[in-house]
Amino acid sequence: METPKEYTIIVRNISFVFFDDQIHRDYPNYFTNYFEGSFKESQDGVRVMRLNRDPYLFTFIHLYLSGYDVLPLPKGNIPHYLSEESRLKNLLLDAHFYGLDTLAKELEALVRPTKCGGKSEEAQAAKETWKVLFVLISTLDTAPMMLIYDPTIANSAPEITPGPI
């Protein structure tokens, strides 16, 4: 029996271990692109990723990719720097950042629209396109790369632009 591939994602010095089936739960996503896609790290067989994101919010991402229902979010144990509302909105931003479209849709259904100049946030968001910009700096002596991913386009592939940012 083949040993499953193991990946470590370090979020501000906290390690999260993932197996192949976990990173494929909401495929394609940032993790599958990094570990198995066209990224240089994938081609080099890298199995460790370092991120400067919120480890508290990443706990929900880890649970979600492990197959658990993370919604509704628990009421207690919210860090002092987050409110219940900001936690939900920031988790939505992270779901978009990681390209977890199914989780993002579930979260969007819970985020309350707020009035902005007579228009709801949802109406404004419909006019604007969500784009996530990843600036990838390789651990090798290669030029930085820019990855633009638009999660509003179904089954869209990230657009990768090598060279100076």
Residue ranges of the domains in the chain?
A: 6-117
Query: Per the confidence metrics, is the pTM higher than 0.85?
Result: no
- Tell me which amino acid residue 58 is: F
| CA dist list (Å): 26 to 19, 30, 60, 100 | 13, 10, 14, 6
pLDDT digits (tens, 9 = 90+) for 40-97: 888 888 999 999 999 999 999 999 999 999 999 998 889 999 999 999 999 999 999 9
What CATH architecture is 6-117? 2-Layer Sandwich (3.30)
